[in-house]
Amino acid sequence: MSNFEQIEKKIEAGEPIDFEDARFILSSYDLIRIGKIARSIKLKKTSKKVYFVFNKHINYTNLCISKCKFCAFYRLGDEEDAYTMEIDEIIDEIAKMPDGIKEVHIVGGLHPSKPFSYYLNMVSAIKRNFPSVNVKAFTAVEIDYFSKLSGLDYEGVLKELKKAGLDSMPGGGAEVFSERVRKKLYPNKIPYEKWAEVHAIAHRLNIPTNATLLFGHIETDDEIIDHLFKLRKLQQEHPGFLCFIPLSFHPANTPLEGKIQKVDAVKELKVLALSRIILDNFPHIKAYWVMLSPKIGQIGLHFGADDIDGTIGQERVTHAAGAKSPLGLARDNMVEMIKNAGFIPVERDALYNEIEVYD
Ligand code: V47
């Protein structure tokens, strides 16, 4: 039996693939077959539906003390384009959105001086002004930072935020769960154990979260695979992840520009498919069009993805690193993109409740 036949047999029987199978998939160039395997899992889970959300990203500050080498977004403070939004500016930004917005996705840098109360007030002001909008805010990295700012432990921080109105959490800040890569590119960022602890506690407190992987820089295939198996195990032990989003590294304007080429589409599609295959206990896999471009994102729907994120409004983190995708997309573009790929567009809310099926 060929490697592919063995993998297909395991998947048909509902068995997980192992590390060697995953290595084989990443080393193969039989894209059509890899796509077919991932798509068969997607079809079993979510039939021909592909989800999108009417959302808005808010990056409340670009000041950050972490100085990660893959990031083009952060500023140290005295640059002309350094900024921090006051809470009324954040409220004004959201108010500009048309009616029907379902989610605000809020992340920022690790601000050198704002107190924990700034973040609590931010969440409660948004909830007060827009009670029906899901506040999806702060990565595990920010939660760890708030714990240092406030003297509270992770549980204390998350309970306070939940009381203020936090509904869910995004999956950023995971990068690659490899100590080798962390020491080289983001030594000031929390390691896997802490990232996992924050998400496990959030899940226990009924705060659903997402998970990401940043790939296409100095990581090895084995480190990608290890990252995915770690997430699979975490979901088994502490369920609560809604969605996984692989993020391909954009080198422009980062300290790695010129040293690393942007990852190609073939690798992007293979990692997307492998995510769907390994993370059989994650309900959703996102082809994040901002990073992939709308065209590769659309092809990604044939590689196991069942979600394309949302309208976004104005994305800043990847565009600071040279992303050529539009800053936001209209609802109609999302529907067209999904329909033209042969799937059924479904507008969802932040928790994947269906708002409208465009059949
Ligand atoms: O954690 C930073 C990544 C992440 C670069 O949960 C970069 O639904 C590429 O997590 N090139 C933030 N990537 C974005 C994120 C996210 C996005 C969409 C949806 C969700 C969700 C989460 O962006 C960071 C980091 O891994 N990033 N710089 C860069 N130069």
Q: How confident is the model at residue 3 (pLDDT cuts 50, 70, 90)?
A: very high
What pLDDT band is residue 331 in, cutting at 50, 70 and 90?
confident
- The mean pLDDT value of the chain amounts to 95
Whether 286 and 171 have beta carbons less than 8 Å apart is answered as: no
Closest C-alpha to 98, from 337, 331, 343: 331
Binding-site residues for S-adenosyl-L-methionine, please? Answer: 70, 175
What DSSP string describes 267-315?
HHHHHHHHHHHH-TT-SEEB--HHHH-HHHHHHHGGGT--EEEE--S--
Q: Please tell me the distance from the alpha carbon of residue 279 to that of residue 272, in angstroms, as a whole number.
A: 11
CA distance 154 to 201: 8
Instruction: Determine the distance separating the centroid of ligand 1 and the alpha carbon of 202, expressed in angstroms.
Output: 20
Q: Is 307 a pocket residue for ligand 1 (Cβ < 6 Å)? A: no
Domains, in order of start, for the chain: 3-349 (3.20.20.70)
pLDDT tens figures, 209-268: 999 999 999 999 999 999 999 999 999 999 999 999 999 999 999 999 999 999 999 999
Q: Which of 247, 254, 259, 290 to mutate to test the pocket of ligand 1 (most atoms within 8 A of CB)?
A: 247
Q: Helix or strand or coil: residue 3?
A: helix
Please report the pLDDT score of residue 126 as a whole number. 97
**Which atom of ligand 1 is closest in space to residue 252's alpha carbon?**
30
Angle ∠(231,338,349) on CA atoms, nearest 5: 60
Of 192, 178, 189, nearest to 233 by C-alpha is 192
User: For 172, phi and psi rounded to 5 degrees?
Assistant: -70, 175
- pLDDT at position 211 is 98
Q: What is the pLDDT of residue 327?
A: 73
Pick from 112, 229, 119: which is nearest to 178 by CA? 229
- What spacing in Å lies between the alpha carbon of 95 and ligand 1's midpoint? 25
Annotated binding site: 64, 68, 70-71, 175
Q: Is the pLDDT of residue 43 over 80?
A: yes
CA of 171 to the centre of ligand 1 (A): 8
Dump pLDDT digits (tens) for 95-150. Answer: 998 888 999 999 999 999 999 999 999 999 999 999 999 999 999 999 999 999 99
Complex confidence, ipTM: 0.98
Looking at residue 257, the DSSP 8-state letter turns out to be B
- What's residue 2's pLDDT? 85
Binding site members for [4Fe-4S] cluster? 64, 68, 71
Q: Are 180 and 235 in contact (CB under 8 A)?
A: no
What confidence score (pLDDT) does residue 323 get? Answer: 80
| Tokens 């995915």, located at residue | 228
Strands 49-53 and 344-348: parallel
β-strands 344-348, 354-357 pairing: antiparallel
Q: Is the CB of residue 71 below 6 angstroms from any atom belonging to ligand 1?
A: yes
Res 325 pLDDT > 80 = no
Say what the pLDDT of residue 75 is. Answer: 96
| DSSP tag of 96 | T
| DSSP tag of 263 | P
